[in-house]
């Protein structure tokens, strides 16, 4: 119980405080959230991704195992979300939002800050989270987009959207420089580290600002409730089974398990708004799952330390 309290007050509570600060600032000053989102996507997150990949050694065998795990985990979530959408008898647009809400995870401006706080003494944990972020972006701009606009957007257009993401370029460059042991001049390293260090605070404040604009209209809506249970409870339960089955241990197991418990990705709401598909429902799911994740993520972190700490 003492450690559970420590996790709550030293990891989850600081994140919650940053979200509240972002929400308050947004209500008072009405930030341009599109500009802040672009700052994170095209500047701060790529810097954080590059530094983490550049500075960390990930065994090729472990990396391949992680990718296999992520594929199996995502496919299982897709099947579970499809089954629940049928049981709930959702129409096509509602089903698309529901499926995305369970499969698409907020691994970026929620997951990376959590990992950086948890694994400050072991960068491998954060590097694994970076890999998950890249994987989740691929899922978002393939499966997620297909759910929403399969009739209007070609596979080639989806691929172009993915390749335009700076984090993909940062990952590739960081991996190449890491593999070939290419030195990074101090003139470039210092500003990149400044940007990477700014990522946590700006990302969390922006997420809080985004959540402040969402109206929570129907708390007991069956779609919102089932989606939250699927994302925050069924997801980690599935992940735990796969982790034990595949024999992961230590920091790798901890990082994968904790990453499975993060709330619904804000991208699911952003895409729904952009393509006018049940945008209100998508936004409410993001808000409700983020609020509830303060409890569930704390519990998952606690369990992970018992099993692999």
Phi then psi for residue 264, to 5 deg, are: -60, 140
Of 232, 265, 228, the closest CA to residue 112 belongs to 265
pLDDT for 299 beyond 50: yes
How far is it, in rounded angstroms, from Cα 17 to Cα 202? 13
Q: Look up the pTM and report it.
A: 0.81
Those residues whose C-beta lies under 8 Å from the C-beta of residue 128, and which sit 6 or more positions away, are 58, 66, 115, 251, 252, 255, 256, 259
**Rounded to 5 degrees, what angle do the CA atoms 129, 130, 132 make?**
60
Which pLDDT belongs to residue 262? 93
How far is it, in rounded angstroms, from Cα 256 to Cα 22? 28
pLDDT for 19 beyond 80: yes
Task: Report the Cα 140 to chain-centroid distance in Å.
Answer: 11
Three-class DSSP category at 264:
strand
Neighbours of 278 (CB within 10 A): 24
Contact 230, 105 (CB under 8 A): no
List the end-to-end C-alpha distance of the chain, in Å, as a whole number: 15
Task: Report the Cα 70 to chain-centroid distance in Å.
Answer: 13
CATH of 2-308, picked from 1.20.1530.20, 3.40.640.10, 3.30.420.40, 1.10.10.10, is 1.20.1530.20
Contact 242, 72 (CB under 8 A): yes
For the residues 35-45, what does the mean pLDDT come to?
84
Those residues whose C-beta lies under 8 Å from the C-beta of residue 114, and which sit 6 or more positions away, are 11, 15, 129, 258, 262, 297
Which pLDDT belongs to residue 151? 42
Which residues on neighbouring strands pair with residue 105, listed in sequence order? 264
Domain boundaries, the chain: 2-308
Q: How many CA atoms within 13 Å lie on the side-chain side of 81?
A: 29
How far is it, in rounded angstroms, from Cα 290 to Cα 305? 22
Tens of pLDDT, residues 153-197: 556 666 676 677 787 788 889 889 988 989 999 999 999 999 988
- Cα-based distances in Å from 86 to 91, 96, 237: 9, 11, 21
Q: Which two tokens stand for residue 167?
A: 């984090």
pLDDT for 152 beyond 50: no
For the residues 213-222, what does the mean pLDDT come to?
68
What angle do the packed helices 186-212 and 13-29 form, to 10 degrees?
Answer: 70
Q: Which of 60-69, 107-116, 126-135, 256-265 has the lowest mean pLDDT?
A: 107-116
Q: Which of 83-87, 212-216, 236-240 has the lowest mean pLDDT?
A: 212-216
Share of the chain above pLDDT 90, in %: 37
């Amino acid at each position: 119980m003492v450690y559970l309290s420590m996790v709550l007050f030293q990891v989850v509570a600081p994140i919650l405080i940053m979200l509240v600060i972002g929400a308050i600032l947004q209500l008072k000053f009405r930030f341009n959230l599109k500009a802040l989102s672009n700052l994170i996507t095209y500047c701060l997150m790529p810097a954080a991704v590059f530094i983490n990949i550049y500075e960390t050694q990930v065994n090729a065998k472990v990396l391949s195992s992680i990718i296999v795990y992520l594929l199996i985990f995502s496919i299982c979530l897709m099947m579970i979300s499809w089954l629940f959408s049928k049981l709930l008898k959702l129409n096509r647009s509602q089903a698309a939002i529901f499926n995305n809400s369970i499969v698409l995870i907020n691994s970026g401006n929620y997951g990376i800050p959590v990992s950086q706080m948890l694994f400050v003494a072991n960068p491998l944990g954060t590097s694994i989270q970076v890999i998950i972020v890249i994987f989740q972006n691929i899922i978002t701009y393939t499966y997620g987009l297909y759910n929403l606009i399969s009739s209007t957007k070609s596979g080639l257009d989806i691929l172009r959207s993915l390749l335009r993401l700076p984090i993909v370029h940062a990952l590739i460059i960081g991996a190449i420089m890491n593999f070939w042991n290419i030195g990074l001049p101090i003139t470039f390293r210092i500003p990149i580290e400044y940007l990477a260090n700014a990522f946590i605070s700006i990302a969390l404040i922006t997420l809080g600002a985004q959540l402040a604009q969402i109206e929570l209209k129907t708390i007991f809506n069956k779609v919102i409730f089932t989606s939250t249970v699927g994302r925050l409870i069924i997801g980690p339960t599935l992940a735990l089974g796969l982790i034990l089955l595949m024999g992961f241990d230590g920091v790798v197991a901890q990082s994968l398990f904790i990453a499975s418990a993060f709330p619904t990705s804000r991208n699911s709401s952003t895409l729904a708004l952009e393509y006018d598909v049940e945008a209100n429902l998508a936004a409410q799911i993001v808000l409700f799952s983020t609020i509830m994740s303060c409890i569930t993520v704390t519990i998952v972190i606690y369990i992970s330390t018992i099993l692999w700490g």
